[in-house]
Amino acid sequence: MALKLYGSPMSTCTSRVLTCLHEKDLDFELVIVDLFAGEHKQPPFLAKNPFGQIPALEDDDLTLFESRAITSYVAERFKETGYDLIRHQNIKEAALVKVWAEVESQQFHPAIAPIIFQFLVAPLQGNLPDQTVIDTNLEKLGKVLDIYEAKLTSTKYLAGDFYSLADLHHLPYAYYLMKTPAASVVNERPHVKAWWEDISSRPAFKKVAEGMNFGEK
């Protein structure tokens, strides 16, 4: 039975999983969940994720939700297929991948998510972006990226000189950030900018980015 991913190509969390699936060269079926019609809050989808958030993944009799948990599962389940995203043959490198994947979820994400919300979601709700929220979180994001800048002076990627799940997890939100005036927070840090240009140019993500048109007219 093929993998089934329930979500939307424009969704950050869905695109995180899609990128992982493409990196692993896996066959899968994408089942579109219409967010604007509220399908994610209806019983058929709530049976897959009771929190009513996309994406969800079905692998035979297993159903998973939470995008980072899904990518970790896919990377481990198919560790011998496609690109090795978790460095499964080197326990120390694998540990560093986990560290920096945690940094993405605990440090990077809480700072960048409100910025993306204000620039892209608020206008769809009929509101103007709240510049105070943007500025407050840009300051937080800048401090996180200062640490990234220092780290990336010594290694090509966050966990070492190898691309991994830790880098991949950053792609969706950073992609949307780079479409906003806040892109300067990346562009003014040369090592972060070079890292972003590298990871966003990978074929797996370029394929996914074609569907990431949230907020476009």
- What are 129-160's pLDDT values in tens digits? 999 999 999 999 999 999 999 999 999 999 99
The burial class, CB within 10 Å (0-12 / 13-18 / 19+), for 133 is middle
pLDDT at 38: 86
Distance in angstroms (rounded) separating the CA atoms of residues 15 and 96: 23
CB 17 within 8 A of CB 70: yes
> Across the chain, where does the E strand assignment appear?
3-7, 28-32, 56-59, 62-65
215 pLDDT exceeds 70?
no
- CB atoms inside a 10 Å sphere around CB 80: 8
pLDDT of residue 2: 83
Task: Say yes or no to pLDDT of 35 above 60.
Answer: yes
Helices 131-151 and 190-199, packing angle to 10 deg: 90
pLDDT value at residue 46: 94
> Residue 217: pLDDT above 60?
no
In CATH terms, the fold of domain 91-209 is Glutathione S-transferase Yfyf (Class Pi); Chain A, domain 2 (1.20.1050)
User: What predicted TM-score, i.e. pTM, was given to this entire model?
Assistant: 0.95
What topology is assigned to 3-78 in CATH?
Answer: Glutaredoxin (3.40.30)
Domain boundaries, the chain: 3-78, 91-209
pLDDT of residue 1: 57
Which tens digit of pLDDT belongs to each residue from 89-133? 999 999 999 999 999 999 999 999 999 999 999 998 899 999 999
What pLDDT, in 10s, does the model give residues 37-94? 889 999 999 999 999 999 999 999 999 999 999 999 999 999 999 999 999 999 999 9
pLDDT at 82: 96
Which 3 state secondary structure label does DSSP give 16? helix
